[in-house]
Structure 1
Amino acid sequence: MSRTSGGGGGEPPERPEGRPADDHAALSALLEDSVEELYENAPCGYLSTLLDGTIAKINKTLLDWLGYAHDDLVGRKAFSDLLTVGGRRHHETHVGPLLRRQGELSGVALELEAADGSRLPVLVTSTLKTGSDGQPLLIRTTVFDARDRRSYETELLRARQQAEREREELKRLNAVLQQTLLPPALVSVPGLEVAAHYHIASTDMVGGDFYDLFPLAEGTWGLFLGDLCGKGASAAAVTSLARYTLRAAAVYDPDPAAVLANLNTVLNHEYNGDDPRFCTVIFGLLTPEIDGDGFRITLAGGGHPPALLMRADGSADELPTPGGQLIGVLPDAHIATTTIRLAAGDTLLLYTDGLTEAHTPTDSDDERYGDEALLGFTRALAPTTAPAAVAAIRALLDTFGTGVEDDTAVLAISVPRPTGGEQQ
């Protein structure tokens, strides 16, 4: 069957004679022109220098950036002559020697000085071209305009510095706010030694721990230490409310259970919606013994870790308030109480759970210090005084380093031994 030049199934008509050869020649000519144009008008600068740095070839892009004519530079100046004073020193002492040793350097940040004296930040990549015998012949360098990058880096640095200033200001404000939640100084109680410490886990957030020691009716004092759930400014507002509610309630009725019940009512009434607030608190009422030898202390606990009593005889035990419930959760929280006598040489220590929940410096990230370890620590410490006990706890917290993830407050009171008696 013969083939036709018509429709389907036939071979395509032949191209006119000479067309492929003409296209190839035109394409070759176009590529030749494009290569030269690409070099001259590339989006980056190109230059070749002799081994002594003299510029042997440079493209139009770089000349335009710097404001020079071809004859101003080629054969007349070295690449280092285009650098700023600092850049020239860096090039001579670091870039040049490294290039000769390694044969290539990439992404070197330098500054070129234009004909009008302005500065052009650039990133430079250089390669050492060698002959067939391995001997260096010349240096080829690609220059990238880094003005946009420099502007970005400058803006980034400015933003970072601004963020640092704001962070420092936030730290300062947090510190001031934190101080308003704590007594500026503990009152002096005749016949008692008192000491306290507040360990801040993070300066970026205000914690919710609080404590106080204050006079009530003549011859009695109140003390409390608590830990509010949450952090930040909103938690600080509730902490302030809790602190002043406790003080006001104690003036109205100093019975420790009544004081905590009052706080429970306030928190449960004010914060029982979508953002409930609650805390653990221990409140104590101090009354000196009639004979002047020691104090009678009634403690009420609302879900708080038990106080620790270190006796003059060297023993130490917890003072549990079993069944005490979190303050602010239930309308009628159960408040547990206990009464003790603090004699000469005895020390009472109150603390928040940031201490016992701290990570210890061990290989296990989940290892917490714990209640048993703290009890053992106080047994080794007894007998002691309030200042010595707080100093020991501060030193202990320092050993945990960043393992202390929550703020920690400690408050200690002790009855001094009679003059001439031994005490640690």
Structure 2
Amino acid sequence: MPKNIKDAPTLSGRWPLFGHLPRLNRDAYRFLRDAARELGPVFWIDLGFGNRTLMVVSEPGFAVFKSKHADSSHLRDFAAFLGKSMLTVDGPDHRRMRTASSHAFTPAGLSRAQIGDTIAETLERRVATWQGQDSVAIVEQTKVIALEVIFRVMGIEVRDLPQWSRWYAEFLLGLIDIPINLPGTPKWRARRARRWLEARVLAIIADARARDDHDSLVGAMVHGKDDQGAGQSESELVDNLLILGFAGHETTASTMAWSMLHLGSSPRRWDRLCEEAAAIGDPPHDYAELMSRAPYALGVFRESLRLYPPVTIDSRRAHTTFELAGYRIEPGTVVGTSFLHLSRDEARYEQPDAWRPERWLDLGHKPTPIENCQFGGGAHFCLGYHMALLEGTMFLVHVARTLSKWGRRPLVEGELPRPTFVPLTRPPAKTRLVLA
């Protein structure tokens, strides 16, 4: 007999208005781990401003992402800046948008759009600026690289990147879900930035249509059709391209930064990466070829992603009654799970808190949905999965080859920085990496 969700314990220690967000930001993993040890794997948590969520931190929580009884519609309320994009829409509209776009993000689609060439050109120019420096602001550098890649993929000229970066940073303030829309507040600034970005994204869409461009990533999305011949509306394309910019740079940049910080704390593993990078010769820009020739670099990226999944908590809202983890979930209930816990499951990973890239070389099978949980699950599994792995692996190979040529290596002096977890898991913004 399933239990009533009203009987699930409630996590104590919440702040007025902000709920448990301050404690989550300080150390989400230990906070949720301790909560699960005290209350069990199912408990209520307050994510701020009335966003009460039923947390299921064990593996059954991942099942909600494949459940036909729950959807992502609540994300439009929680973070309105996401719009009616693939992240927030479910059912037939989601399938139509995703099918119309999916060809662009396959390994073949990335090759057709010459994404690898764009990544390589960006890395060549950006990493070259590190020469002669004793240290680099690694979080800032990886963010600049990832943002430039995604903007160039969208067809934005290099000379326009500073202006786009400024307005996009304003747009991302929409992640701060303070329900006040007065001049100067995050919501007000995010909406103002969206107007600027939307006008220019519409121009990019119009240009792709006018040139009958089917090969670039934007062109493939603009002209893409589902199995019934239906594509995306202008407003859907705008929302999805704006979210592509967010999903395509924030998450990848954070994982690249963590990779370099851990390599800076492990000379042995840095040397192994350099040996692999040297043996490759000129790094291939093709996804399949790079993955087969740079397995250790890929393992470094995957292991950093496992330890620091950019999205700490993801959730779905029930629209019909169903059973999950021994509880009867009622319509309207928001059910969340912790990717941090799924990524550090002791039953799945030996020494789950240790950074060990070698574990991916010894896996013996393709990563399972749980092992790929950092990219989401179910129908909303990250469309940019292949692009993230391509960019992250190319970055590590290029940096290893470049620093070796300069006679430099990354070095972290002292302990690794502690991550912040809200709104995303990432190193502190001012973290510097020594080039020894």
Q: Which one has the bigger strand percentage? A: 1
Q: Do both share a fold (TM > 0.5)?
A: no
TM, length-normalised to structure 2: 0.25
Q: Which one has the bigger helix percentage? A: 2
Report which of the two structures shows the higher radius of gyration computed on alpha carbons. 1
TM, length-normalised to structure 1: 0.25
Q: Determine which structure has greater relative contact order: mean sequence separation of CA pairs < 8 Å that are 6+ residues apart, divided by chain length.
A: 2
